[in-house]
Chain A
């Protein structure tokens, strides 16, 4: 049923339809509304049978999920940012053990400096954990991806992380067509574990593996990721048959067929980019967009195919590998290896800085005139940066840069405002 509903609420209700049996999470903005809503449904008895456990840290939240999943229960959790890092050892462990836990990641920046707003640093920090990572463009897709995630996780016995942009999606109220219990039941069979703690058939899970077999075990995990590359589109196809919606899958090309320039991005910023691209298309430019829905495993072939006709590719991303370049860019570059394509990297929206259509538009303008460099930080206040650089060069004890820049930006900002008024 189509409802006008908060993204977090849509996810919580959809997760409930997936009949999780153990939900264990630790509050952190911007994930809180999701777990509060699931918790309330358990307490009110509308989600049953289900245990909702309030724990003392994210490390415990993921650990409880591991125990529950190994004992045969469908387990769900959610976190963000600092919380993901706090549980990271257990995050690796869950995938190493092959436990099909589903986790929502309400994407948020990582500190220091502490920042509660959206970017993709958290997801990128967990890129190599062995979890499948799916990115939602809208709240509709966020809800739908959870249903697909449980099925995918359980078929492969691999954990799945559904990434949705913190605040931008989690706190946005918009139309979401929620599935019915029957629909979800018809799509998602009961969890049948591949391995389970059971006195009738005792197994040891998590034994030490030495040099004689570790490589094989790791390689098998890699193969399961590659299996996911085949399974994800087929799950999305059957989901489309059931709901008529084009949610999930590996990639979402938009007007790429005749495009000379294609913008690649993940998550909710795709909407703003599509508006910008449509506006420029109306002026006769041949632009397209490629949304990457499945980021791990990385769909290299699908990306290469979708970008086949482009002479210029702009990767817009909300994370950055300090001292390197954008994380998504590196993967896209590999997908394009051997092809003669101009590749640009635009880092945008770090720590929640709004990505406006205007900024995208002028960036695209520079791309079309060949004035866009290899690496651009969108909307960067260069003067604040150079002021801090000269402070650092001029004296030793200059104090924390974060505070200096904040102060600079605020006082410069108010000076500008004063001058205007």
Chain B
């Protein structure tokens, strides 16, 4: 008998409709009684992945903790757009201190709750990639190393968006930012060694490390909820496309996030106590080119003076991730032909 794959998902998406699922498997977002931790009316740009990611993550954390959550937020877009004069979008207790100290502030909150015998109240720290991998890195590593009881979430939009799109240590090679202009022999950001925070977090042997994207709501919520069942230092790194900084259409946020995963550029996995425990395999393999072409920050790789050599180097990075995490399995659909890629993005 020939095998015929049954597609659960709508065309172009892998999302399972909630109505096909039992109640307890449905997403937090589908629940009309969810917290709305970040209420509507905030001032993020249209299609902001960070607004979406933070809302998904916090609502899931709230459900898991029975509404007993305190959150600490580093300076950055999320902080600025969620507390516009004279309003706040937060329906959870929220503290913004500084750009570089959110993990340590979260440690302080956790210590106070412990000393007051209120360990039912859980602490979630939040920051952008800059607040996490750059200026907050020292205090984050300290929080991991002491195994403080904090879930720290990084919303990675691969740059300092709040200050007008400058490079961070999470900015991918070749991407154009305000401090990595698309000029010279290696236009855009350098091909450095990278600063892979999920792996660095794993090297601290903390209870839980996971990555996720806003393209897979089930996966993201599940990871947050699982993290909330554990104690000690935990870290979740969420890829959140930024239409403004990436130069992608605001309607393409989910698509771009999905392509980051499906190309292998952003590996989605979980690790406990320093070991990878699961990976989200690629469902329909994409070429990095398909991903890059949707974003003006890579436009210099394709325009009048195309740079297939650089695209190939980026493809190598994706292939390396695929090999490292075993992201391709028997069910992965093959990579499309290059002609089709061009077709798809037009």
Contact = CB atoms under 8 A, between A and B. Distances in A.
B303 interface: no
8 contacts: A27-B166, A28-B163, A43-B180, A43-B184, A56-B133, A114-B96, A406-B86, A411-B86
A227 B137 CA distance: 42
Interface in B146-180: 160, 163-164, 166-167, 169, 178-180
B169 A45 contact: no
B169 A56 contact: yes
A82 interface: yes
Interface residues of B, number: 26
B86 A407 contact: yes
Nearest to B97: A112
Nearest to A29: B163
Contacts of B272: none
B335 to A, nearest CB: 33
A226 to B, nearest CB: 36
Contact-size category for A = 20 to 34
Q: Interface centre among B100, B166, B184, by most A CB within 10 Å?
A: B166
Question: 8 tightest CB-CB pairs across the interface, nearest first?
Answer: A406-B86, A56-B134, A410-B86, A57-B135, A27-B166, A36-B178, A40-B181, A44-B183
B99 interface: yes
Contacts of A32: 163-164, 166, 178
B184 A29 contact: no
A407 B135 CA distance: 32
Contacts of A35: 179
Given A29-B163, A29-B164, A406 B169 contact: no
A86 interface: yes
Interface in B210-237: none
B75 interface: yes
Question: B-side binding surface: helix, strand, loop or mixed?
Answer: loop
B9 interface: no
A403 interface: yes
Given A43-B183, A44-B181, A57-B100, A27 B163 contact: yes
A409 interface: yes
Contact of B100 (A40, A45, A86): A86
Contacts, number: 64
Given A40-B181, A114-B96, 10 more contacts: A29-B163, A32-B164, A36-B164, A36-B179, A43-B180, A56-B133, A82-B99, A86-B135, A112-B97, A411-B86
B203 to A, nearest CB: 18
Interface in A36-89: 36, 39-40, 43-45, 54, 56-57, 82, 86
Nearest to A52: B179
Contact of A56 (B135, B180, B183): B135
Given A43-B180, A114-B75, A57 B134 contact: yes
Given A36-B166, A43-B184, A410 B179 contact: no
A106 B167 CA distance: 20
A29 B183 CA distance: 24
B149 to A, nearest CB: 25
Contacts of B166: 27, 32, 36, 54
A328 to B, nearest CB: 27
A27 B86 CA distance: 26
Given A36-B166, A56-B135, A27 B160 contact: yes
A39 B181 contact: yes
Interface in B118-161: 133-135, 137, 160
Contact of A27 (B75, B79, B137, B164): B164
B88 interface: yes
Contacts of B135: 26, 56-57, 86
Contacts of A403: 86, 88
Contacts of B164: 27, 29, 32, 36
B98 interface: yes
Contact of A410 (B75, B85, B97, B100): B85
B307 to A, nearest CB: 16
B140 to A, nearest CB: 12
Nearest to A57: B135
Q: Interface centre among A27, A43, A82, A410, by most B CB within 10 Å?
A: A27
Interface string A85-105: 010000000000000000000
Contacts of A54: 166-167, 179-180
Nearest to A58: B135
A57 B169 CA distance: 11
B86 A409 contact: yes
B85 A44 contact: no
Contacts of A86: 99-100, 135
Nearest to B169: A56
Interface string A393-421: 00000000001001101110000000000
Nearest to B166: A27
